[in-house]
């Protein structure tokens, strides 16, 4: 049996303008220019350039989202208030903070060019003097080399590839003969099938028959490879039938200097230096911290004068003209969008500044001295409470932004960390504990490195209440291997 009924519900939905503002807030400075250029392309009412009139300051700084003007749904005369669009002082121009030198911004930076790894290998293959059959096998092998310089595809699979794709019947033995020739190419170690073979190929290049360290290193890799990977030095000495630690140590030092990824430096056709563009710049002016936004890549924005002139013409014309009304409705929609975008940029700047100022206030001691041990435990909720904003807003600001200080450039995520309790009842940042773990390991005796249990004991003696599994987690986050792999002779 069907029944009719009324249900009352309350739902919260974000407007399209609010969703766009959220995305704009999350964009880092390095990508902001592209986002603005995209808006300039789709909205002819928005222009680049500085207006002579000084824009008024926004009065809604505390708002998390700018007001979202809705476009008209019809072309009636009541939808358009001419005076609202003739008073354009508030939106006449908007100059970004922190604009850099124009000549410096427009200066073209040369990009170093380099041939790819495949191109380098192909040029060497051309000089090998191979016959047509061997050359075809060589091309197939070069195509199987991965970006780090290894061939991990089985030779039998390459034989099948040759048969199906090129109609060439061959054998694994013939393919391996061509492979041995390719393994003589530069860089040394190229086309190895595993790390052991890669290291041996490099040692072969260094072997002149007189260097004892190279000879011992080759013997270690070929006969004691498993012990080498586990750093079981005593087992290596036993296999080599020697009690001279220096005899093994010198060879081990030679091995660790070899390149485990011979193709790693030649994988890109264009080599470009990667730069981090900080979103904030913090300076210490005689003990006073001064924060500014780095927005030099963002152009100045203003409302198009020609579009406001259209409204002036409409105000003086016959307003019953249907085509003119439709044109004015279109112009109104574009002006609404342009005004909103300029206001959204202002709101973005204000939100970024408020969030960063709160972080600086919370971590003031660190920003004053740069001492990592003075970082306090801080979570997103702490900053959200300070600036009366939602946690999600703070998260978007912190997710992809960075600040330049006198001590280096730091991502904002760096300043957020969990707390560790101490014997005194206080909480310290997990970054402080990580730094202490790092210092302890750097000063340990490498003949007898500390285990995680020993690290736990030392930290507990220092007053940090921390479990062994947490020590292991922090050690892994610091990319520090376990004690056995830190052992040295």
Once rounded to an integer, what is the mean pLDDT over residues 23-36? 78
What pairing do the DSSP bridges indicate for beta strands 280-285 and 402-405?
Answer: parallel
Per-residue model confidence (pLDDT) at position 298: 57
| pLDDT above 70 for 27 | yes
d(CA 48, CA 44): 11
| pLDDT above 80 for 123 | yes
**pLDDT category of residue 321 using cuts at 50, 70 and 90:** low
Q: Tell me how crowded residue 153 is: count the other CB atoms within 10 A of its CB.
A: 16
- pLDDT per residue as tens digits for the range 196-220: 899 999 988 887 766 788 888 888 8
Q: Nearest 5°: phi and psi at 475? A: -65, -40
d(CA 87, CA 91): 9
Query: Structurally, what CATH architecture does the domain formed by 117-193 represent?
Result: Orthogonal Bundle (1.10)
- pLDDT per residue as tens digits for the range 85-110: 444 444 434 333 444 444 444 444 44
- pLDDT per residue as tens digits for the range 270-296: 444 456 778 889 998 888 899 988 765
**117-193 and 417-486 have identical folds:** yes
| pLDDT above 70 for 408 | yes
Q: Could you state, in order of their start, the residue ranges of all structural domains in the chain?
A: 16-100+288-376, 117-193, 194-267, 417-486
- pLDDT per residue as tens digits for the range 157-200: 998 988 888 888 889 999 999 999 999 998 889 999 999 899 99
**pLDDT category of residue 361 using cuts at 50, 70 and 90:** very high
Residue recorded with tokens 């011992």:
216
Per-residue model confidence (pLDDT) at position 30: 73
| pLDDT above 50 for 465 | yes
pTM reported for the whole predicted model: 0.51
More confident residue, 252 or 56: 252
Cα-Cα-Cα-Cα dihedral sign, residues 328, 333, 338, 339: positive
**437 and 459 in contact (C-beta within 8 Å)?**
yes
Per-residue model confidence (pLDDT) at position 478: 84
Q: Nearest 5°: phi and psi at 421? A: -75, 145
Residues 6+ apart with CB under 8 A from 125: 135, 138, 139, 142, 182, 185
| % of the chain beyond a pLDDT of 70 | 75
CATH 1.10.357.10 fits 417-486, yes or no: no
Q: What tokens appear for 457 in the block?
A: 């004991």
Residue 71: strand, helix, or coil: coil
């Amino acid at each position: 049996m069907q029944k009719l009924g009324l249900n009352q519900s309350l739902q919260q939905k974000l407007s399209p303008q609010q969703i766009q503002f959220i995305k704009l807030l999350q964009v880092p400075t390095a990508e902001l220019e592209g986002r603005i250029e995209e808006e300039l392309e789709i909205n002819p009412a928005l222009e680049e350039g500085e207006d002579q009139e000084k824009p008024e300051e926004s009065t809604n700084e505390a708002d998390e989202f700018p007001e979202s003007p809705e476009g008209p749904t019809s072309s009636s005369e009541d939808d358009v208030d001419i005076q609202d669009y003739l008073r354009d002082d508030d939106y006449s121009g908007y100059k970004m903070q922190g604009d850099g030198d124009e000549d410096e911004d427009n200066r073209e930076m040369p990009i170093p060019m380099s041939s790819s790894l495949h191109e380098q290998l192909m040029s060497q293959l051309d000089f090998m003097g191979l016959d047509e059959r061997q050359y075809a096998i060589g091309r197939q092998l070069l195509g199987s080399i991965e970006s780090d310089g290894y061939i991990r595809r089985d030779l039998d699979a390459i034989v099948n590839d040759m048969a199906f794709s090129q109609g060439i019947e061959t054998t694994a033995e013939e393919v391996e003969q061509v492979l041995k020739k390719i393994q003589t190419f530069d860089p040394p170690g190229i086309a190895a099938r595993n790390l052991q073979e890669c290291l041996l190929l490099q040692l072969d290049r260094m072997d002149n028959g007189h260097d004892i360290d190279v000879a011992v290193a080759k013997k270690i890799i070929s006969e004691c490879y498993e012990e080498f990977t586990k750093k079981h030095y005593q087992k290596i000495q036993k296999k080599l039938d020697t009690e001279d630690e220096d005899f093994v140590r010198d060879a081990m030092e030679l091995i660790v200097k070899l390149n485990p990824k011979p193709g790693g430096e030649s994988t890109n056709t264009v080599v470009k230096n990667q730069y981090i563009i900080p979103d904030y710049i913090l300076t210490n002016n005689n003990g006073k911290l001064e924060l500014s936004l780095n927005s030099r890549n963002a152009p100045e924005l203003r409302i198009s004068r020609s579009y406001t002139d259209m409204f002036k013409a409409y105000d003086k014309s016959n307003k019953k003209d249907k085509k003119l009304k439709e044109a004015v409705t279109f112009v109104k929609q574009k002006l609404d969008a342009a005004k909103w975008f300029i206001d959204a940029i202002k709101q973005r700047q204000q939100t970024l500044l408020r969030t960063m100022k709160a972080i600086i206030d919370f971590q003031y001691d660190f920003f004053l001295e740069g001492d990592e041990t003075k970082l306090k435990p801080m979570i997103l909720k702490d900053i959200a409470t300070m600036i009366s904003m939602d946690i999600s807003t703070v998260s978007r600001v912190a997710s992809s932004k960075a600040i330049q200080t006198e001590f280096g450039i730091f991502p904002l995520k760096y300043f957020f960390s969990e707390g560790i309790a101490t014997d005194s009842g206080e909480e310290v940042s997990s970054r402080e504990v990580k730094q202490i773990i790092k210092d302890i390991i750097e000063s340990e005796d490498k003949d007898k490195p500390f285990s995680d249990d020993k690290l736990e004991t030392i930290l507990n003696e220092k007053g940090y209440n921390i479990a062994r599994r947490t020590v292991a987690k922090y050690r892994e986050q610091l990319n520090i291997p376990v004690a056995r792999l830190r052992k040295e002779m």
